[in-house]
Amino acid sequence: MDRATVDRIAQFEGNDVLLQGWLANRASKGKLHFLQVRDGTGTIQCVVFKGNVTPEEFDAADHLPQESSLEVEGAVRKDPRSPIGFEIDVKRLRVVSVAEPFPIQPKEHGTGFLMEHRHLWLRSRRQVAVLRVRAAIVKAIRDYFDSNGFLLVDSPILTPAACEGTTTLFELDYFGEKAYLTQSGQLYSEATCAALGKVYCFGPTFRAEKSKTRRHLMEFWMVEPEMPFADLDENMRVAEDFLVYVVGRVIEARRPELEQLERDLKPLEAIRKPFPRVHYDEAIQVLQANGSDIPWGDDFGGDDETRLTKQYDRPIIVHRYPAAVKAFYMKKDPTDPRYSMSMDVLAPEGYGEVIGGGQREDSLDVLRNAITAHGLPMEAFEWYLDVRRYGSVPHAGFGLGLERTVAWICGLGHIRETIPFPRMLEKMTP
Ligand code: 4AD
Ligand code: MG
C-alpha cells in the first residue's frame, strides 16, 4: 500500500493508502467519527464508519485527544465539500501515541503564551503556511542568483571585526581573543568576488539590537550578492529585478498558503519594474511635505519609511543617504562627499526596508581614513584593505533580510512569526 501525504492525495484517488499524522480536531455524528488529520503537508478529513473498523478502533476514534499521533489506512475519495477536494474512508486506525492535553486549543491565546509554546504553536495551520512561504522565498532567492551568474560562496559566522557598527555586536571569547558573531557576510564577499566573480552568501547574521520593534530580530537570515565591476546604478537594477522575480515566483508557488493567511494578493501582483529611484533629499522633502519633522541628515525610522512608502504603489529605492548615517565601507558620492553611494529598497504597505546596500569604497586611502574616522581597529581590517591593494575595482552589492521579506509577502504584523524560533530582545526560549 502506498504511503500518501495530504499534498499529493489527488494522485491516489480511488486507491487505498497509508496516511501518518497527528489529530488536529475531531467530531462525531452517530455511527461516524470525523478525524481531521494533519501530516505537515496539509490536513484531511478521515471518516471512521462504525461498520468499517473494529469496535476498539471505533472507540479509539471517539476518545482520541488532540495531537495524538496516528496512522490510518483507507480509500481516498473525491468529496466536493472538502476544502482540499478529498477525504479518506478509514479501514484501519492505529494510534501511535496518545497525547496529553494539548496547551494550545482552537481558541484565542495571547501572543506571550503562544511564544512560550512556540515549538507547539508551529503545528498550527497559520504557522505552517508561513514557514512554507518562507521555504519558497529561500528557493526563489537561490534560483535567481544561481541562474544569473552568481556563485554561492559562504561567509564565516565567527568574525574578528564589526561590519555594521560596533553597537550591535554579540561578543564572545575565542580562546582568549575577542570574536563576534557576524553582522553581515559582506566584507568576505567583497574578497570572494575578486576571486570568483559575481557571488552571493546566504546565512544567519546576528545583531544585538537593543530596541524592541516589530521589524528586528537578534538572529536573522540575510542573502548578500556582491558584484565586481558594478556601480550603484547596476546594483539598483539587480535589486529590483531580483525582488520582482522573488515575489512573482512565491505567488506562483504558494498561492494556497497566501490565501490561507488571508494575504491580499493585489498589492503583490502589482509589483513591477521599474521601482522609483528617490534621492535622499527628495525623500526628506516628501516626508516633510507629509507632516514629518525629520531634519536633513537623519536616518529614517520605521515610521518615516511607512510615511514615505505610502506615497508610492510599489517598492521604492532610496539612494545616496548621508554618509554620516551609513557604514564605513560605503563609497562617497564623487559629486558631493556628504552623500554615500548607498541604497535601501523600501517595501510598500508599511513594511519598509527589506534591502540595504550600495557601492563600496574602492580607494585604499579613502577606506583607511574611513576606518579611522569610525574608530575601528585598523589591524582587524588589514585583510579587507588587501582587496583594494591587489586589483581594486568598483564593486557593489546588497543584503536582503529574509524575515522582513517573509513578513511583507505573508502580510504579517510582526517579524516574530517569520522564523521557526525567533531570537528577541526579551527572550530566546524555546
Ligand atoms: O541594511 P543592513 O544593515 O545592510 C547590511 O548588513 C549590508 N552589509 C548588506 C550588504 O550590502 N551586503 O541589513 C540588510 C538587511 C536590511 O535591509 C533588513 O532587511 C535586514 O537586513 N535586517 C534585519 N532583519 C531583521 N532583524 C534585524 N535586526 C535586521 N537588521 C537588518
Ligand atoms: Mg540598513
pLDDT tens-digit profile, the chain (430 residues): 899 999 999 999 999 999 999 999 999 999 999 999 999 999 999 999 999 999 999 999 999 999 999 999 999 999 999 999 999 999 999 999 999 999 998 788 999 999 999 999 999 999 999 999 999 999 999 999 999 999 999 999 999 989 999 999 999 999 999 999 999 999 999 999 999 999 999 999 999 999 889 999 999 999 999 999 999 999 999 999 999 999 999 999 999 999 999 999 999 999 999 999 999 999 999 999 999 999 999 999 999 999 999 999 899 999 999 999 999 999 999 999 999 999 999 999 999 999 999 999 999 999 999 999 999 999 999 999 999 999 999 999 999 999 999 999 999 999 999 999 999 988 889 9
Alpha helix stretches (DSSP H) within 26-124: 55-63, 111-116, 118-121
Cis before 315 (ω within 30): no
Instruction: State if residue 352 touches ligand 1 by the CB under 6 angstroms criterion.
Output: no
Is the CA virtual torsion 276, 277, 283, 285 positive or negative? negative
Instruction: State if residue 159 touches ligand 1 by the CB under 6 angstroms criterion.
Output: no
Q: What is the CATH number of domain 2-97?
A: 2.40.50.140
Q: For the chain, give every domain's residue range.
A: 2-97, 118-418
Query: What's the 344 CA to ligand 2 centre distance in angstroms?
Result: 7
pTM exceeds 0.95 = yes
The whole-angstrom separation of Cα 119 and Cα 117 is 5
- Tell the residue nearest (CA) to atom 17 of ligand 1: 355
How many CA within 13 A on the CB side of residue 188?
20
- Chain CA centroid to CA 346, Å: 15
Which letter does DSSP use for residue 330 in this model? B
- Tell the residue nearest (CA) to atom 22 of ligand 1: 401
Architecture field, domain 118-418: 2-Layer Sandwich (3.30)
How many CA within 13 A on the CB side of residue 149?
7
Query: What's the 215 CA to ligand 2 centre distance in angstroms?
Result: 12
Q: How many helices and strands (H and E) does the chain possess?
A: 13, 19
Residue 366, SS3?
helix
